[in-house]
Structure 1
Amino acid sequence: MDLEVTKAITESWFARLQENLCFDAAIVGTGPSGLIAAVKLADAGYKVSMFESKLAPGGGMWGGAMLFSSIAVQNEAVYLLDELEIPYKRYNENLVVCDSVLATSALIYQASKRGVVIHNGMSVEDVVFMDNRVSGVVVNWGPVVREGLHVDPLSFRAKIVVDATGHPCMISETAARKNNITLNTPTGKVCGECSLNAVEGEAMTVENTKEIYPGLYVCGMAANGVFGSPRMGPIFGGMLLSGEKVAKLIIEELK
């Protein structure tokens, strides 16, 4: 039985890997903006793979604020909760509140149900850069990267790469630094996020969601980090709307 279990796991996993070496969109980071983007792209018929360096997808949404498992979403994004059947309670005329664990697990489930491949425990350490375009991702095991082990990575090809890595905006920073390219930002590089301003941060998260170099898009907190805008704290409407916006932009390009 033990060998049958091993064979079943390895054969099914490697078959899925072989089927997903090339895809339409690679989303790096599996927080709420990345998951919404994956759902919308999959609904439009595109092949999507997500990469998460940690064991559990979901980004910072699991913990709510200071481990209080409740998150706030403003009215403008409530329709996305309705679309994905995520329950919520009305707090006041401006906000609803959701259970953070339920909301996060629902986003993961909805993406997976649509055929989005989520590679957990995989860290994107570089991009594929060809003909002055970001054309894929370079991936290793998350623990290998964290331990600094000298193990060569593998590459995946994608028409579009989305930096949804949150505050560090690691993909944008790596692409700019290693290839000496000029990003579509005020400085041409990663500006770095500013301190908290919830109102401005929410608005700019959506405003900053765009293509910053051929083949490379940003969404969620990575967008604010790249463009030098404020963080917004434990409110998630802007993150959800950012994910929807980046999916719309990518769909327009892939058409």
Structure 2
Amino acid sequence: MELDETIITRAIVEEYSKVFLDYIEVDVALVGGGPANLVAAKYLGEAGLKTVLFEKKLSIGGGMWGGGMMFPRIVVQEDAKHILDDFNINYHEYEKGYYVASSIESVGKLICGATDAGAEIFNLIDVEDVMIRENDTVCGLVINWGPVSMNRLHVDPLAIRAKVVIDGTGHDAGICSTVQRKIPGTDIKLDVVGEKPMWADVGEKILMDTTKEVYPGLIVTGMAANAVAGAPRMGPVFGGMMLSGKKAAELAIEKLRK
């Protein structure tokens, strides 16, 4: 068979466009492709919710790819080990209560777990704004190509509707920061404080409290949750991140099923 470049081009554009149009209205939109949101995406998909994840960079996985200081290993504590099992990630016990896994395998299986559960992932798409309507509720996202935002090009964005938005954008807490900046003086006050210095034990434990709905329709997870609350940075211990993602999914499921 002789390959035809125009057929290849048409297949890519048509198939992508078809999927993209199918996801301009969703149940849950996750912003940021790090481990917390990948975990959340799997549980949301398994619950039958229409779920989309946007990542502004080319690669999905956030900081997990690099492990600790580019040593491609992660550490997970005892109470998060079951999530490694849920994603079929190989690990071994290093010392009592400390489990080590390959960061490369972990990211790959988190991505596969999310997509196998039915979540759709779009990379190279940045979220530059939110939509807020009745009752001061976040109800959608304003999106553009990641390279457009990175290069500060003047290109108008598009929008999607979502019943729930989950901010998993890491240290910047980008979606929460946008809401705080754009809606000052409302009855609902959202303070993005920023992370405190690293303290793994405290940061990991408090993350389950900071993972919550911080504004109507907006849930925060992972490092973004601790950044919003002013809690300590956690470091290359990823159990809390994954537990936070699972909790964010549970909060969204509960909200949508009321």
Is 1:248–2:255 an aligned residue pair? no
Specify the SS of the correspondent of 1:124: strand
Distance 1:206 1:108 in 2: 22
SS at match of 2:172: coil
Q: Structure 2 length normalisation: TM-score?
A: 0.96
Aligned length: 253
Match for residue 227 of structure 1? Answer: 229
Structure-2 separation of matches of 1:54 and 1:32: 14
Shift of residue 22, structure 1, vs aligned partner = 0.4
Q: What is the deviation of 1:83?
A: 1.3
Q: Provide TM-score, normalisation by structure 1.
A: 0.97
Structure 2 residue runs of 5 or longer lacking an equivalent are: none
Partner of 2:27: 24
By how many angstroms is 1:120 displaced?
0.1
Measured after TM superposition, the shift of residue 183 of structure 1 is 8.8
Q: In the alignment, is residue 198 of structure 1 matched against residue 228 of structure 2? A: no
Q: Note the aligned Cα RMSD (angstroms).
A: 1.2
Structure 1's consecutive aligned runs of 4 or more residues displaced over 3 angstroms after TM superposition are 181-185
Inter-partner Cα distance in structure 2 for 1:18 and 1:232:
38
Equivalent pair of 1:176/1:182 in contact (CA under 8 Å): no
The residue that corresponds to 1:166 in the other structure is 170
Q: Which amino acid aligns with 1:67?
A: M
Compute the displacement of 1:179 (Å).
Answer: 1.7
What residue number does 1:47 align with? 50
Unaligned runs of 5+ in 1: none
Query: Tell me, what secondary structure is at the counterpart of 1:193?
Result: coil
Q: The residue matched to 1:180 in structure 2 has which SS?
A: coil
Deviation at 1:44, TM superposition (A): 0.6
Question: Partners in 2 of 1:64 and 1:232 — Cα distance?
Answer: 13
Q: 1:105 matched to which residue of 2?
A: 108
* Structure 2 residue 59 is matched with structure 1 residue 74: no
Deviations 1:79-111 (Å, cap 9, x if unpaired)?
A: 111111000011011110000000011000111
